[in-house]
Amino acid sequence: MIIKQIAVFLENRPGKLAEVLGVLSKQDINLRAMSVADTADFGILRLVVNDPDKAVQVLRDASFAVKTTSVLGIKVSDKPGGLLDELKKLNAAGINIEYVYAFAASSVHDARVVLKVDDLEKAEQVLYSPDRVGDPADGPNFYW
């Protein structure tokens, strides 16, 4: 399922991550997935939240530099090779994975993963072909 990811650009200083999370918490915005990539001077905080549009607005109101990106959220079997099975499908279709990170667990049988790929629509078609049982990543409840 294609979902909205929020990227927040932060100075690499003590307290900046807590500041962002505090802004979101005060507005009852729940984190579902988070990743931080850093350099010596700055970091990129990538988030998936329960209300992405509200999160973008409150973060911008708090003077944070924010960007949204469409990414693919998938559910995989929580077993050795579960993610590998899905990645093989993307590889066979010639789709490059730019980055990946995990979601909060929703059950002991499944894991959720965020993928940034170079061809989002094609990746969604490859992973959610008509013969696959069930709705992509549980449909509209994917954000919880």
Say which residue, 38 or 44, is predicted with more confidence.
44
Confidence grade of residue 131 (pLDDT, cut at 50, 70, 90): low
Distance from the Cα of residue 39 to its chain's centroid: 21
Position 34 in a domain: yes
53: containing domain: 2-69
Say which residue, 135 or 43, is predicted with more confidence.
43
CA angle 106, 15, 20 (to 5 degrees): 50
Position 27 in a domain: yes
Q: How many CA atoms lie within 13 A of 87 on its CB side?
A: 13
> Is residue 103 domain-shared with residue 64, that is, in the same domain?
no
pLDDT at 38: 84
Position 144 in a domain: no
Contacts (Cβ under 8 Å, ≥6 apart) of 132? none
Nearest to 141 by CA among 107, 94, 101: 107
> Is residue 99 domain-shared with residue 62, that is, in the same domain?
no
Contact present, 112 and 73 (Cβ < 8 Å): yes
> Is residue 64 domain-shared with residue 80, that is, in the same domain?
no
Confidence grade of residue 40 (pLDDT, cut at 50, 70, 90): confident
Looking at the chain, the whole-number percentage of residues with pLDDT higher than 70 is 85
Give the residue-averaged pLDDT of 100-110: 73
